[in-house]
Structure 1
Amino acid sequence: MDHIIRNILVFIMFAIIQNSARITNERGPKWFGIGIVRIANSVCTGLNGLEGTCYTRLQCRRADGFSSGGCAQNIGSCCVIQRTCGEQSSLNNTYFSNINFPTSVTSGGRCVMTVQKCNADICQIRIDFLSSTLAQPNAIGVCNSDSLVITGGAGPVPVLCGDNTGQHIYLDFNGNSSIDLITSTLDGLNIGRNWNYKVTQIACSCPTRAPAGCLMYYTALSGTVTSFNYGASTAINPATNLLGTRELVNENYGICVAMSPGYCSIEWSACSDSSFIVSDNDAALNPPRPLFGEDCDADFVVIPNPFFPNGTAAPSDRICGNRFPTVITYSKPFVLTVVTNGNETSTLGPDVGNVGFCLNYRQRLCTADTAIMR
């Protein structure tokens, strides 16, 4: 009899546990939604098109953000974080802009914005230049009027100026040190400047973290890359006295492409016949042509172990001139290195017309020609 009673009690307790689990599961989606808002803080897109973080409304107010629509089944608030000169943020997806952006800055001054880690698991940031318009460099490619200087990171970032809208960079934190974005403008210039940088924080174990040595990092199978301050401009290039942008001095950085599974090589080609002008572009280099190796002793790009499409090895991995030849490399990782010296005028070399480059890349499927992989 006792064992029958015990079995009945066990059955009743099991039924209660099952019923409790059923009730909990029925409530699960609602409570899970709140959990996402409070703990996961997932990325969301606001009504204004900007990326925010899914917070509770109280969290958003405490973060000094503004709500731009709902998230997590409208339980949470898509909180957009914006900061300006003299301010800081340790929150993911923070937008740093000039005061009263998009209104242009016409006066001189110094604007400092500070990025701090979200947490101890953060190793890197990505800075997207959603808008970045400063004065052009001078005749030797130096940012002597306006500049963007980024300090505090684990690696060097070149001094930037001119038109860099649409560019991006990756930068590792140096331990727990903060990273400063310092934009300086010169008074008395009759030009308008503005800037709006989106800063994304990247965890140490995140698969989208850029490898060491990669200032720029692309993950698509194909795309277009440009040097800093490349493209159309309404400013006068002081070296040529014409409208247009200008190559910047003292640069040494890597442009990396994440190798996709099933793809063994990468092809680099010019965006147009005039989209590569990197050293030795004076009238003496006629007809226009690429140069290699020792002929490139000032400014150049480096592509490891390049081959021409017909399978012939290129003369060198160092390329400059006023034309870019289509080349293919099987070397891993996929990286193009950019190097410029400290002077872009014709007084020390034929660099007066340097504008930089626009190049297309295309990853190539593994085929029978992988026998020449290096």
Structure 2
Amino acid sequence: MSKNVCLILVVVLMSQASRACDDNIEEEELARQQSDEYFARAYGFTPETWNALYHKPSLGLQDAVDASPYEGRTLFKRLQSSNNPFKKYFNRDQEDNENNGRFIFAGLGSNLVNTGLFNNRYTPANTWRPLVTLAKRIPISVNPNFNSPLGSFDTCTSNAGEAGICTSGSVCSLFGGRPSGPCDQGQVCCINVINSCGSIVTLNNTYWQTPPTALRSPCTLTVRMDPKFIEQSSKPICQIRLDFVSFTTSQPTAGTCTDTFQVGGVSNEVPTICGDNRGQHMYLNVPQSVNNPTDVQLIFNFASGTTISRSWSIKIAMLPCGATYLAPIDCLQYFTSTRGRVSSFNWQDVAGARQLNNQNYNMCFRTELISSQKATQMCLSVCSATDGDAFSITTPPAVLLVASLNTGFALANTADADEAAINSAVGTTYTDQSRGNGITVATCLYDYLLIPGGRDANNVEADRFCGNKLNPSPGTVKRVPACPNVEWQRVFIPGAATDVQVCTAIRPFKLTYQTDGQETAVGAATNTIRALADVSNTGFCLEYQEN
């Protein structure tokens, strides 16, 4: 009897020691996965990030708490380690697990494949589950990671530079992924690709690519977020970043998209885009819901009768709340390097009109460290272009206003308008005096690029920039000698005919791009200021540098 009692005590003590080791392992793993460096590497950002959006805050906790969304990031609260590595499976409500088909340890064998994780390839209307019976034969040892028998879902980079998730090779194959390179603990870097319309995605780092068959319109993809999903349970998702690896649809007609790409279900305003947008990106703010899933829709609509070959590859990254690399909430685009290129959607170095209508969004730039000090200014210069126009926003109203004795006033010949096509414009309007009555004409009122505190090398300053050159030099109105049968004539002389570097010292560094819904002339009306028709506007492409 005493030998049996001793044997039982030894088994209990060994069990407790093993449990303590497991607890320590889990604590180390959670600490690693909660670290800033881990998330910076996981989502493709430089690991040398410091806890700031635009400025480096002080190390004091109160400074970080009181900081505005632009001045500092919210400190992420560390998750407490669980004494039971399977607690997150046991503690879920049984009814929720049955309704959502999510993972619980008790039913791991039967639920491993027949879940939203592995069935996000199928549309909601498709109830066929081809792998249900196969799932019953899968052993628990499908993944060697004891802390998470389903995979850690860490982000990885494949040998070809693609973003993926870490999981076992068998699990990667089950949900249709493509193994490409190794991860820790015997896992593989699994590349997840969707190439269909109407699918639902719940996995981070998924690529949505052009369907191989004929396109239907609309072609949609739903990104579903739910903290009850095991692949999203460690941290709720606050933002989605879309990276347009490739993006080609038809060009706009007079600035209006006929093919459209739109985003629904987010809390920030996202403009409709089309054309060529390779290399562009967007940050989408996700509405938070504790009890209900959140769906974000990516929607393509295609115009009929267009023969252009449409294609796209969009990387979808889910960014957890509290991560140090989240974009400020009012920024559609966010740049975190000391230098780079920023351009309007659909800008390309090709001839022809490219500007899109109804654009209204912010481009934000994190204040980086320069020689261990925060950057004090950001400077912008137009990109080098061969065939296209690197800055063309609104045709400036460089026209001759003539007051006839019989007909009042009329616009002069087109030669004056052609002269305007090579000049800059700033401000919002100018006023031309005729017969004592002011004629107000819009300049950068409807389409413009806002650079707060923008100055040239001579300290000439302007905020709104448009025209065909980036230059803060203002336009003027001059009186010219009268001609026979003409009472007076005045001509508006636009700004400079050269591009210059424009710098701003106003932090946080931010640009705002605004266009209206038309390229045609705007007639004077109640609360509406007249403006000329726009001619071959392309948008902008700028090189930025912080110093």
User: What TM-score do the two structures reach when normalised by structure 1?
Assistant: 0.79
Partner of residue 282, structure 2 = 169
Match of 1:304 in 2: 452
Question: Is the 2:151–2:166 Cα contact (8 Å) retained in structure 1?
Answer: no
Please say if residues 224 and 359 of structure 1, whose CA atoms lie closer than 8 Å, have aligned partners that are also in contact.
yes
Provide Cα deviations, 1:75-112, integer angstroms capped at 9, x if missing partner. 00111111131101111101111212xx8x6x552211
- Which of 156, 160, 165 in structure 1 is aligned with 2:269? 156
1:253 and 2:361 matched: yes
Q: How does 1:109-188 map to 2 (within 5 A)?
A: 109-117=217-225, 118-119=232-233, 121-139=236-254, 141-144=255-258, 146-176=259-289, 177-188=294-305
Is 1:93 the counterpart of 2:210 in the alignment? no
- The 8 Å contact of residues 53 and 92 in structure 1, kept in 2 or not, is answered as yes
Instruction: Kindly state the Cα deviation for residue 331 of structure 1 after the two structures are TM-superposed.
Output: 1.2
Does the C-alpha gap of structure 1 residues 309 and 78 become closer, same or farther in structure 2, counting only changes over 3 Å? same
CA contact (8 A) 1:230 1:245 kept: no
User: Given the alignment, which residue of 76, 82, 101 partners 2:193?
Assistant: 82
Residues paired across the two proteins, number: 325
Q: Which residue of the partner structure matches residue 468 of structure 2?
A: 322
- Quote the offset at 1:287 in angstroms: 4.6
Give the AA of the match of 1:335: K
1:227 corresponds to: 344
Shift of 1:189: 1.5
Aligned counterparts of 1:331 and 1:35: Cα–Cα separation in 2: 51
- CA deviations on 1:184-213 (whole Å, 9 max, x unpaired) are 112321211101100111111111100011
The structure richer in strand per residue is 1
Residue type of the alignment partner of 1:178: D
Q: Residue 189 of structure 1 is aligned with which of 306, 311, 318?
A: 306
- Tell me, yes or no, if structure 1 residue 265 matches structure 2 residue 377: yes
Kindly tell me: are residues 175 and 349 of structure 1, through their superposed partners in 2, closer, same or farther at Cα, counting changes over 3 Å? farther
Using the alignment, how far apart are the partners of 1:329 and 1:175 within structure 2?
35
Say if 1:34 and 1:300 are closer, same or farther in 2 by CA, change over 3 A: same
Taking a change above 3 Å as real, the CA distance of residues 293 and 269 of structure 1, as seen in their structure-2 partners, is: farther
What is the CA deviation profile of residues 281-331 of structure 1, one whole-angstrom value per residue up to 9, with x for unaligned ones?
Answer: 551415523433433112001111222233x141x3111110013221111
Question: 1:326-372 deviations in whole A, cap 9, x for unaligned?
Answer: 221111111000000110235763312111000111101xxxxxxxx
1:280 aligns with 2:395: yes
Question: How do residues 32-111 of structure 1 correspond to structure 2 at under 5 angstroms?
Answer: 34=145, 40-72=152-184, 75-83=186-194, 84-100=196-212, 109-111=217-219
Structure 2 CA distance, aligned partners of 1:112 and 1:61?
A: 25
User: Is the Cα contact below 8 Å between 2:379 and 2:546 reproduced in 1?
Assistant: yes
1:343 paired residue number: 518
1:216–1:254 Cα contact (<8 Å) kept:
yes
Deviation for aligned residue 1:51 = 1.1
Are residue 201 (structure 1) and residue 315 (structure 2) matched?
no
CA-to-aligned-CA distance 1:30-53 (integer Å, 9 cap, x gap): x97836885542222224432110
> Are 1:355 and 2:538 matched, yes or no?
yes
Between the aligned residues of both structures, percent identity stands at 34
Report the counterpart of residue 6 of structure 1 in structure 2.
none
Letter in 2 for 1:99: P
Larger-Rg structure = 2
- 2:454–2:502 Cα contact (<8 Å) kept: yes
* 3-state SS of paired residue (2:208): strand
Which residue identity lines up with residue 129 of structure 1 in the other structure?
Answer: F
Which has the larger displacement, 86-95 or 57-66? 57-66
Equivalents in 1 of 2:222, 2:422: separation in Å? 49
User: Within 2, Cα distance between the matches of 1:357 and 1:142?
Assistant: 17
Question: Under a length normalisation based on structure 2, what TM-score does the superposition of the two structures give?
Answer: 0.55
2:114 counterpart residue number: none
- Alignment partner, residue 367 of structure 1: none
C-alpha distance in 1 between matches for 2:316 and 2:327: 14
Deviation string for 1:191-237 (max 9, x for gaps)? 1110110011111111110001110110000001110110045xxxx
Q: Which runs of 5+ in 2 are unaligned?
A: 1-9, 30-143, 226-231, 397-416, 430-442, 472-500, 523-530
- What is the CA-CA distance between 1:71 and the residue it aligns to? 1.6
SS at match of 2:145: helix
Aligned equivalents of 1:36 and 1:49: distance in 2? 28
Alpha-carbon distance between aligned partners in 1 of 2:159 and 2:453, rounded to the nearest angstrom? 48
2:406 corresponds to 1:291: no
Q: Relative to structure 1, is the Cα distance of residues 245 and 126 closer, same or farther in structure 2, using a 3 angstrom cutoff?
A: farther
Q: Structure 1 65/350 Cα, relative in aligned 2: closer, same or farther at 3 Å? A: same
Change in 2 beyond 3 A, CA 1:36/1:81: farther
Q: 1:128 to 1:202 in 2, by over 3 A?
A: same
CA contact (8 A) 2:421 2:468 kept: no
Where in structure 1 are there 5+ consecutive unaligned residues? 1-12, 234-242, 365-374
Matched-pair contact (CA < 8 Å) for 1:36–1:42:
no
Higher relative contact order (CA 8 A, sep 6+): 1
Distance 1:272 1:323, change over 3 A: farther
Instruction: Report the Cα offset of residue 245 of structure 1.
Output: 4.7
